[in-house]
Amino acid sequence: MMDASKYAVGYYNPPKHEYRWVKKDHIEKAPIWCSVDLRDGNQSLIVPMNLQEKLEFFKMLVKVGFKEIEVGFPAASETEYTFLRTLIENNMIPEDVTVQVLTQCRDHIIRKTFEAVQGAPRAVIHFYNSTSVAQREQVFKKSKSEIKKIATDGAALVKQLAAEYPGNFRFEYSPESFTGTEPEYALEVCNAVLDILEPTPEKPVIINLPVTVAMSMSHVYANQIEYMSDNLKYRNSVVLSLHPHNDRGCGVADTELALLAGADRVEGTLFGNGERTGNVDVITLAMNLYTHGVDPHLDFSDMPAIVELYERVTRMHVYERTPYAGALVFAAFSGSHQDAIAKGMNWRKKHGLHQWTVPYIPVDPTDIGRTYDADVIRINSQSGKGGIGYLLQQKFGYDLPPKMREHFGYTVKAVSDHAHKELPPEEVFGVFRSTYLNKQSPVSVQEAHFIQKSGIFAVVTVSVNGQARECSGQGNGRLDAVCNAVKAACGMDFTIETYSEHSLEHGSTSEAAAYVGLRWADGSTTWGAGTDTDIIQAGIKALASAVNNK
């Protein structure tokens, strides 16, 4: 049996006041983004990236638009140190990008960090120490004043070394395990650090408040952030930063509410890679802003390429249902969903809408490098006529009449159900082709000649089981006349119930498609489709196909 009694509330609410963030309903602008993929993300990989892989990842982050990138813990390993030196010595850091390096508040590690970063055009020295009750009592066995002194000693040393080393340095301080720290004490420590660093609006200091371990519901974190934002010294010279982890599965919610509460900056990773359950997913955050009409200042217009590189160099897998990026996030298998999406797509096209309003799909897949035909309508035994027909139209140009679309839908579902698999678009088209298109056996119309006489008179050569015979028919149009001739030749009893035609949108612009539905004397209906450069011939082929489907 599970025993919940062993768990108690491990977080700390700030002093009560009326929180303003709860009255806001959206985030108005993008935060400053800092990727920690190459440090926090990399250290959590089973096989960390090698030098070439990290360089490739760094270039991708720059291309996406990150202006701040934490490149590692250079004092921790030779690989981390070499990577940073490679970036610096090969002038690989763009003019508008700042690299960030992490260091504990320990004298020799801070000094090693400055040695590693010298020569960088711009660098953030990110120093930290843990302040939580659990860490103070169980790990360090130090008092509040002793823990605060670790932070202030670190601040004094980074300030001193920044003056001694050439370079353009900024500072970031994190009270690690902030969410397990009393907010009043976290504030005391951060303000003590700020007093030493003396930030200015021209050279602000980053105060980073990490969800090192998620302990509370998201609104509590937002309360903590607003309390800190309201009470930090030098607030107009402080960049208030977030670094949420995802232990409770609430990393995105924690971050969004904390941004409402006054935070300015977010540290996270692509696809949420990180220790344990991961860091906050920057892609989800950025795309959530995008779907609310806010420019995230990050470019995910080629999401498939980003996924490919990420999976290749990290050896991680982007889950198929990962928001925005997963292989199946736009896929609709449900028939009712497919029908609504198809109608929404057609509505948007018909009305020339710029605004995205399509049901079930929160973002236009083409905005992030995905396609409608391959990603949106996916066909299996759960699919419906609307989605199957929409795929056939979008991918191959065939716009079936509604009742034929329904018949085709059931045909495709039966194939998928019997095979117990999804059908790719080409296989769906194969079902259409073999079931309806240009079927010329056992009945085909080899020739047809028309005379305008009391309507249309047709002289038709019909082949039945390979035996050709000439017959004639009268009708109110050419197809009707051919239809009557075929009935006479074959001794069949049917009428044309449905006929439609259109030029093919895909492939040769000179081809036309026609569709015929026949109503038989026994009450059944059969369908056929035909294509030809001549619309009359396309209709005749469709008629023969429908006859052959009896």
pLDDT tens-digit map of 349-390: 899 999 999 999 999 999 999 987 666 667 766 776 677 888
pLDDT in the model for residue 347: 92
- Specify the pLDDT at position 390: 80
pLDDT score at 507: 55
What CA–CA distance (Å, rounded) separates 129 from 175?
6
Please state which of the ranges 9-13, 199-203, 206-210, 480-484 shows the lowest mean pLDDT: 9-13
pLDDT digits over 309-334, tens only? 999 999 999 999 999 999 989 887 77
Answer whether 280's CB lies under 8 Å from 273's CB.
no
Tell the residue number behind the tokens 């081809």, with chain if given. Answer: 511
pLDDT value at position 28?
Answer: 96
Q: What is the pLDDT of residues 491-545, one digit of tens each?
A: 899 999 999 999 986 555 678 999 999 999 999 999 999 999 999 999 999 999 9
Interval 329-347 mean pLDDT: 82
Q: Taking all residues of the chain, what is their mean pLDDT, rounded to a whole number?
A: 93
Q: Coil, helix or strand for 353?
A: coil
Q: What is the pLDDT of residue 142?
A: 96
Using CA of residue 275, residue 278, residue 279, residue 283, what is the dihedral sign? Answer: positive
| Residue 342: per-residue pLDDT | 81
Beta-strand relationship, 169-176 and 525-532: unpaired
Q: Model confidence over 164-223: pLDDT tens digits?
A: 999 999 999 999 999 999 999 999 999 999 999 999 999 999 999 999 999 999 999 999
Structure tokens that stand for 342 in this block = 């198809």
d(CA 523, CA 451) in angstroms, rounded, equals: 32
The mean pLDDT of 58-77, rounded to a whole number, is 96
Please, which residues bridge with residue 461 across strands? 447, 470
* pLDDT tens track for 212-255: 999 999 999 999 999 999 999 999 999 999 999 999 999 999 99
Report the predicted TM-score, pTM, of the whole model to 2 decimal places.
Answer: 0.82
